[in-house]
Every structure is written in structure tokens, then in C-alpha cells.
Structure 1
């Protein structure tokens, strides 16, 4: 596999200037090499401190500072933090022009201390440097012309990343509906899906990504029966046979809280207690649960050297709050609390990617609601024990952690909020010690 990765790295550099050595600016100056980071107790090494651009999704689509000047229009104004920010998050600083588009966003994130970028799509405002992202498959068909334009855009984005010493670590994007396998229609991937997948993998290779994936679960977690989760393992194994075999890129799935619910893998049983409250209910038939979680079954039926997962640590803790009781194979209600740390620790290298999303406990009763609300990483309100998590999952320094906060953009009322929250979170991730 190392030969394939080397070939991919060579392809990623084709037609690009060599990446300049990273010169830290501002808060990034606290970062050091991974070995030194491990020595001084950092739980998230500086070289693996990342963000998914979903958290800053308002920035690429905004007309940037340079584009505004070129068009002779006023830039978007907002607050990026003053002299004492982020130590004092209330120090908003002066009203300033806000970055927009990929080039300006990458510059901002690099100065904030981020090193890795997980994309949530590649689109941006057409007037920003690099222009709009071409459609790789107009009308569903990946033509040679569309593919060439799409890959040229990839080389532009790679140049932007290199300019600020950033590394593309992954993307939430296209995943084929068809695949090669007995459970796929016709037992094979359609030509349209295959050609689009090849274009997306080459795009990822140009960016230098070791991973490419989705923001979704392997299959719909609304269906907890064992059969669709076994089939999902077959699909993602087949996709990785293509992506790893041809490009050296591992394709990953994500998780939300339902993916750590209990697998329905037993016989039909009659239950007489409410799952959450334990109160009596009318006799009801359900499928029994052994205690295995959906995502664990997915891991069990896939090749550990091929198929990997990105854990959203926030949603894993929501699962701990929500999915606390199961019905065993005799129909008895059993308390069985999920442990995200233990889940990773027993197979830590199958979780090379994390969404480092922080949460403030809502005070809801166990099993009611989500149990947490989104906050910047390292916010004093945090009720997720990230120090304990990173200290006990093993393989220190191996994992790639991407800050995410679904509610980071502040809209028209506070258009600088997502960028301020990114600065707070980069500082919080850098400060995590153990």
C-alpha cells in the first residue's frame, strides 16, 4: 500500500509548485513537530490539528476581501477578535473586512493554528480566486471535458493549501449508490457511478488526501436490523477495494448518535416495560438485542486493514445519553451504557479520524433529547471529557482530529462568528494536555 500512497503523493504534486516550508504566524507559533508534541504532553499533535470546513461553511461562499476590492464593492464586515482574544472571548475587537473564499479562509485557518483541512464540499463564490467549482458530472455524466475542468480546479485548491502549509485530510462528498457485490443491483457498479467515483478519487489524490468519505452513517440507522448493516459492510468493503487498490485512499463513513444504538440481532420477544422509563406497557413484540452496537457490527464484518471510520465524538456522547437500555433475547429491559472511549480503545486504529465537537450538557434526563448542545472546542462550559478520551484511546499522536461545530456560522447578525469560534477551538485543541 505504501507504493500506492507514494504514487498518489507524486500525482498530487504534478503541475504544482513545491510546498513552501510552513512559517507559523500568530497563534500557530505554539505548534511544534509531532514528536516534540508527544514529549510535552499534547494530546492532539500540532501536525494533526484540523477542522472540517462545514464549521466555516459561510466563508467560502462569501465574496472575499480581494474579490470585493476588485469588483469595487464593500466587503462583508464583522468581528474577528481583539488583542485579548481568544483568551477573552468577549473581546470582539474592531469591525473589520471578513475573509471569503478558499484562499482567504486557508490563510486565516493556518494563522489560527490549524494544519489539516477536512472539506465539506469544494464550492465557493465564483468571483473569489480560483473561481467556482466545476460540475464533474453535468446531467449525471462525467465527460472527459468535465473531468478535466474539475481536476484543474483541484490543482488550484492544492496550490492554495500549499501556500499556507495546510494538508487536506479528507472530504465529505460523493459516494456511489451502486457497488460491486451480490447486494448491488446487477452485482456491479454502474458506469456513471464508477466514472464519477474515479474523478472524485483523482481530485482527492491531487489534494493529497489519505482519506475520502461521507458525513453519513454506513447505512440508515433508522433500520437497526442486522441484515442492512451486514450489507453496508459489503458495500464499503467493495468501495475500498477500488479506492485503496487504485489510489491508496481509504473511504470512510461517519457517525451520528443512532449509529451507536443497539443492533437488533435476536429473535422476536415480548416486552412489557418502556425502554427509557421502565414503566409498564402493553405486551409488545420487538426483536431482541444482544448488546452489540450498529457500528461495532459494521466493524466486525469489514476488513480492519481496509475499512475505517470517522467518529464524531460529540454524537458518540449523545449516544451514551440516549441509548442506555436494551431488550435482551428474553425480552428483559437491561441497562447497557455506551462508552465512547472504550469503543475506540479496543480498535483504535480503525478510527483514524475524529470530529472534535464539544458539548455543554443540557440537564435532560437520560434517554431524553440529545443531552448536549454545541459549543466551541475547549469552551469552559464543556461537559465532554476530552482529556480522558484522548488519554485512554491508545496510539497517542495517531489520530487526526477535526474541529466541528454545527452552529458556528452567525448569519447576517454576526458573520465573523464561525471564524472567531475557529480561533477559540484551535487554541482549545492546542491546550489539551495529558
Structure 2
């Protein structure tokens, strides 16, 4: 089973056009402060250089601000911040001088490429309208895709593709539009609505222009607030139907996960329990639905076609799930300890896990089952308590996975607007240095 897109990344825009974009738009020049991260030449790299990526949600403050070039054109002062001095990122406290900060796609993509990233997972396509290329047009004003809105949106896709090519970057995925309707007996009306179909086709063509092999969502296959088996079975039907459409473009549509998606599936009879799930303390007799021990996401994988449906694992949230969901009630109402193993989960079916969010965490010291158990830190931060080296060595299929650095709390706001970019440099260097 192959997962490579049948659409070449060179189909819609040649490398020459990308080079022209770089020459015309880069405000930084060859001697910019954005020095590339240097990876060790030692063998055994656990994240191949060609698959070292980031999701732009981690740098979401950058596209939305006016960049260096746009500030100069408008005659306004650019946003100033710290990007690191000569000993950064080896010394994260070396903030360096106060400098103008990149803004918009051109400057962000140049910065990420020079930091050592190769792959980009988008978290939406919009940017500040003042930056080169403008902002993303609405593909479906009022919910309706028109010939004019489609044309404008796809023209923007070609512009964005040029920015990627200019810096030798590959678009690997996007968290974006997923239709609410689909073809299936459990879809409203039993079919996809015309508006959803036209919007999906437009998004898939946009993705094909960018060269995306994957297009998906930052959400679970369905709401994990409902752990009953029935809605999770329906979710498998939906995502198979969506992938049947998307694969006509050579694109797999993927789902994501947060910790609730690795909670226990409620798939048994109603039972009476007399012990607190977390502490084991006595409780009044309570009726709950029994759990076989299967996790929600495992049920989704079991019922979907492996040739259609692939998954993005968020490594951080999988470890939060390990911390949170350690006990279940079996089909007789007994409290059973059953601890989740994220690495074993991937190792059982490595081809189903095409993408990772390489998100790191510092253990909070909370008791098992209390809170999240971790707080987010840059990848490879000294405070890290997620053993990424062990994780990558255990899951098998070395070099197969597309690993995208993510850190939800990376932006520093107005007090430290350069923080998300510094954290990106730290993370790229540490991902590149991971050996095993």
C-alpha cells in the first residue's frame, strides 16, 4: 500500500518560479540573522532531514503580523523582538539583540527553512493582508463556492506554492475544512450536500497545488466526549467516504488525536460499579457501561480500511492519555488497571500513522488520573519528560513518519513576540540531533 500523492509537487509550479519569488521577496538576504541549525553528521538519525517539519499553529502569531518588507513599504516600524544570539540555540538564554521580526508567509517560511525544517503542516492559509501575496480569499462566501471565489482561492494557492518552492519546503498537510455531510447511510440525507461537495473539491485542488499528500483536521474522528461504540463506528464510515473522494486527487484525509481519543471505548453491557475509577475508594452502587479495554482510536482503526484512512498521532496528548486513562470498568463491573502505551500503539500498525505532532512535555508531578500530567515545552527542552529517543526506537519503520514540531503555547504575545520563532529554532536543532 502506497501513500505517495499521484500529483507531483512540480505539476503546478516549477522550481524556477520559486527561485524568482525568493529573489524578489526576501527582505533578509544571504547574510540574515536566521542561521541554519547544524545537525550532527553521526549516523542513526531518528527523524530524517527530509521529514523534519513543523505545524504553523506553533508560529501562528507570525503570519498575522505585518512583516519586515511590508512594514518598510508602508513606512511603519516593524515588530521588534529577540531571535537569539551567536550561542543560540545551544544556549537558549542567549537572546541576542533586539531585531525586526519576520511576518507573513514569505518571511516565516524563509525563517523555518533556515532553521532546518523541510516540511510544513499548515494550520490554515491566512495571513495579514499587507504581506506579500495578500491574505487567503474566502473560497465559499456565505457557504457557497462560486466560480469567482474558487478562481481567486486557487490563485492564492499558486502564490503560496511559489513561497514554499522558493525555500525548498514541502507542504505535508493542513488542518482545515472537513465536511459535515458525506455519502453514507448515517449521513444527513444519505449523501454529501452540494455546498459541502463543491467546497471540498476546491480545498482538495488547493491542496494538490501545494503538493499535499495529506489533508486533515486537528480534531479526533468524532467527539470523544461520547465514548459509546456507536458514534465511533459511524465516524469510520464518514472518514472512509471522505477518503474515497480525496484519493481521486491523490490525497489522504487524516484525523488527529487528543488525550480523550485514547480513553476506553464503552462497548459492553450496563454494569454496577462500587469503586471509584481513579482511586479505588468505595462509592455507592452506580450503573455504567462496561469497557472491553479497547481504546476509542483503536476501534476507529479496526473498522476502517487501512488503504483509505490514516492518522496523525500527537505524541504529547498520547502521553497525557497514558497519565489520565489508567483504569477501566470491565464487563462485570470490576475496576481494572490498564495503562496506555503510545509507542506500542504505533508499533502495532505503523502504516496507519503517517504523521506525528512532535510535541514535548514537562511532567507536572500530578497524581495519575489528575490533570494532564504534562505541560508543553520546546522539543528536546532539558525539562522534557517524554522519552522521544525511546519512542522513535520502539515504534519501528524507522524514517517512515512525518514528524511536525508543535507547541500550543509557543507564541509569547506582546511581551515576547519572538518567542515562537526561538522555540522553533530550538526544536528544529533538537529534532535534527535525535539519534538512536
TM-score by length of 2: 0.95
> Are the counterparts in 2 of residues 28 and 110 from structure 1 also a CA contact under 8 Å?
no
> Are the counterparts in 2 of residues 82 and 92 from structure 1 also a CA contact under 8 Å?
yes
Gaps of 5+ in 2: 23-29
Q: 1:223 aligns with which of 215, 221, 226?
A: 226
Q: 1:414 aligns with which of 413, 416, 424?
A: 416
Deviation of 1:186 after TM superposition, in Å, equals 1.0
Deviation of 1:400 after TM superposition, in Å, equals 0.2
Q: SS at the partner of 1:59?
A: helix
Q: 1:432 aligns with which of 410, 417, 434?
A: 434
Deviation of 1:110 after TM superposition, in Å, equals 0.4
Distance 2:9 2:319 in 1: 36
Deviation of 1:402 after TM superposition, in Å, equals 0.3
Q: How does 1:4-403 map to 2 (within 5 A)?
A: 5-7=5-7, 9=9, 11-13=11-13, 17=17, 26-28=35-37, 30=39, 40-244=43-247, 246-403=248-405
Deviation of 1:306 after TM superposition, in Å, equals 1.0
The C-alpha deviation readout for 1:41-85, integer Å capped at 9, x for no partner, is 000000000000000000000000000000000000000000000
Distance 1:402 1:193 in 2: 29
Deviation of 1:2 after TM superposition, in Å, equals 7.3
The C-alpha deviation readout for 1:178-200, integer Å capped at 9, x for no partner, is 00000001110000000000000
Gaps of 5+ in 1: 32-36
Distance 2:3 2:212 in 1: 15
Evaluate the alpha carbon distance shift between residue 7 and residue 379 of structure 1 in structure 2; reply closer, same or farther with a 3 A threshold: closer
Evaluate the alpha carbon distance shift between residue 91 and residue 14 of structure 1 in structure 2; reply closer, same or farther with a 3 A threshold: closer
Q: SS at the partner of 1:354?
A: strand
Distance 1:18 1:76 in 2: 27
Aligned length: 426
TM-score by length of 1: 0.95
> Are the counterparts in 2 of residues 344 and 393 from structure 1 also a CA contact under 8 Å?
yes
- 2:25 corresponds to: none
Deviates more, 1:8-17 or 1:336-345: 8-17
Deviation of 1:207 after TM superposition, in Å, equals 0.3
Distance 2:389 2:4 in 1: 35
Deviation of 1:342 after TM superposition, in Å, equals 0.1
> Are the counterparts in 1 of residues 18 and 164 from structure 2 also a CA contact under 8 Å?
no
Aligned-pair RMSD on alpha carbons?
Answer: 1.9
> Are the counterparts in 2 of residues 16 and 159 from structure 1 also a CA contact under 8 Å?
no
